[in-house]
């Protein structure tokens, strides 16, 4: 029997996972990136390749998953801050990848929006 329907946002799922496993997570939204045509995607990939870790760059290129797990909040925030610039620092809106860090309590502690 259905009790009640709930609309969950991606943040709700990320926060629950972070709390359940007591981890800090970096989440990055690849919806815009995945929707780009091949030419624009190559331009955006080249932009990020200059400062994003190779492992994370491979994740972005694959476009399949978008959450990284860290044991320490400071490291997660530092890395996310160096990988994902604010929209005002991007050449255009297609280059912007929204990212945030969720701590083990389910709170956003860093956001590039």
Determine the structural domain holding residue 51 and report its residue range: 10-111
In a domain, 45, yes or no: yes
In a domain, 4, yes or no: no
Instruction: Give the HSE-up count for residue 88: Cα atoms under 13 Å, Cβ half-sphere.
Output: 2
Q: How far apart are the first and last CA of the chain?
A: 40
In a domain, 2, yes or no: no
Residue pLDDT, tens place only, 72-92:
999 999 999 999 999 999 999
DSSP 3-state of 108? strand
What pTM, to 2 d.p., does this model score? 0.89
In a domain, 1, yes or no: no
Q: How many domains does the chain have?
A: 1
pLDDT tens, per residue, the chain with 113 residues: 777 877 768 888 999 999 999 999 999 999 999 999 999 999 999 999 999 999 999 999 999 889 999 999 999 999 999 999 999 999 999 999 999 999 999 999 999 99
C-alpha 8/C-alpha 36 separation (Å) is 26
Q: Counting runs of H as helices and runs of E as strands, what totals does the chain give?
A: 5, 4
């Amino acid at each position: 029997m259905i009790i009640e329907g709930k609309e969950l946002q991606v943040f709700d799922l990320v926060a629950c996972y972070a709390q359940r496993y007591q981890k800090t997570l970096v989440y990055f939204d690849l919806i815009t990136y995945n929707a780009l045509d091949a030419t624009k995607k190559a331009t955006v990939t080249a932009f990020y390749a200059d400062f994003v870790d190779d492992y994370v760059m491979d994740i972005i290129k694959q476009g399949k998953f978008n959450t990284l797990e860290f044991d320490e909040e400071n490291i997660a925030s530092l890395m996310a801050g160096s990988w994902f610039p604010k929209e005002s620092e991007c050449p255009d809106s297609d280059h912007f990848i929204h990212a945030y860090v969720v701590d083990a309590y389910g709170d956003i502690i860093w956001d590039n929006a």
